[in-house]
Amino acid sequence: MAKAITLLESTRADHRAQADALLTALLPHAGRSFRLGISGVPGVGKSTFIEALGLHLIGQGHRVAVLTIDPSSTVSGGSILGDKTRMEKLSVNERAYIRPSPSSGTLGGVAEKTREAMLVCEAAGYDVVIVETVGVGQSETAVAGMTDMFVLMQLPNAGDDLQAIKKGVMELADLVVINKADLDADAATRAQAQITSALRLFGLHGHPSHAHHDETIWHPQVIQLSALHGVGVDAFWLAVTQFRQLQTGNGRLDARRQHQALAWMWERIDAGLKQAFRQDPRVRELLPLLTAEVSQGRMAASTAARNLLEVQAQRT
């Protein structure tokens, strides 16, 4: 399995053709897991929670894979996540597989490798795949875009001290977990109420008006737990199971995966088109000049775009 993932992660052109053949061969055996995305700021307790959850699931007979998208690796090639020693018990369990983030590349590239690694894990029989990230907005969008359910972890600080949630992240959440609820029960309860209210205000708690009472539609929930003491992990998995049953029953699970696959195809196409554009010799020659003209307000952005598209199209 590690070999397959390493092949998929290779950037050599001849490996890419083999990797595509491998993917096509794997696909009929993939897709049978539940894909769970988990995000939260450093210190929220992601490792502790994932270890507790993983061991709980293994106890129930599941096989659990943990993949990681570490946005810091896409910048520095370093890694703040994905260190196996963070999950000591889980990493030595034979029914668990933990793979750190690909160690470099653009976020799009790292996300692609992680999507492909997920398929390998599924084909190898892991029936719960957890994809973890630490947030910079874009990495959370990438994780939500490849999982069946996206979970946002929060700390129970209350009132004005409640840590701000990054722009655009709350709208991705199917479930919000307030971890370390044992530290301050009152604060956790206030945070739960505040986030529930904000979810409703921002139209994220289900859909407007009538849909509020439609029991076939999932409304994002906010739950408390204490991963360190193993309190609430079973309630968490119960919520996940309810979500999964609901989304399977109303067809949204399949629709979400289909939508994700097509969105991903177009994202890679867009990235490829843009890369080819930027590498075109005529574009490379003209781009710095037009960028400066537009920045300094001497040329309209739309005029510059048309000029650049024309020079690229003129290639013979």
* DSSP result, 5-26: HHHHH---HHHHHHHHHHHHHH
Residue 300 binds a copy of itself, judged by CB under 8 A: yes
The neighbour count for residue 125, using CB atoms within 10 Å, is 14
Closer residue to a copy of itself (CB): 29 or 84: 29
Please work out the total of residues on this chain that contact a copy of itself, with binding judged by CB under 8 A: 65
Contact with a copy of itself (CB under 8 A) among 4, 5, 23, 225: 23
Q: Where would I find the beta strands (DSSP E) of 155-303?
A: 175-178, 221-224
Burial 7-46 (b: 16+ CB within 10 A, else e): bbbeeeeeeeeebeebbeebeeebeebbbbbbbbbeebbb
Stretch of 46-54, 71-79, 88-96, 159-167 contacting a copy of itself, by CB under 8 A: 159-167
With binding defined as CB under 8 A, does residue 298 bind a copy of itself? yes
The span from the first CA to the last CA of the chain, in angstroms, equals 45
Please identify, among the stretches 58-66, 180-188, 232-240, 286-294, the one whose residues bind a copy of itself according to the rule CB under 8 A: 286-294
Helix (H, G, I), strand (E, B) or coil at 226: strand
**Position among 15, 95, 268, 282 found at the interface with a copy of itself (CB under 8 A):** 268
For residue 28, state whether it binds a copy of itself (rule: CB under 8 A).
yes
Question: Which residue(s) pair with 99 in the sheet?
Answer: 67
- Residues lying near a copy of itself in the complex (CB under 8 A) are found at 16, 20, 23-24, 27-28, 30-31, 112, 115-116, 119, 160, 162-168, 170-171, 194-195, 197-198, 200-205, 208, 257-258, 261-262, 264-266, 268-270, 272-274, 276-277, 290-291, 294-295, 297-306, 308-309, 313
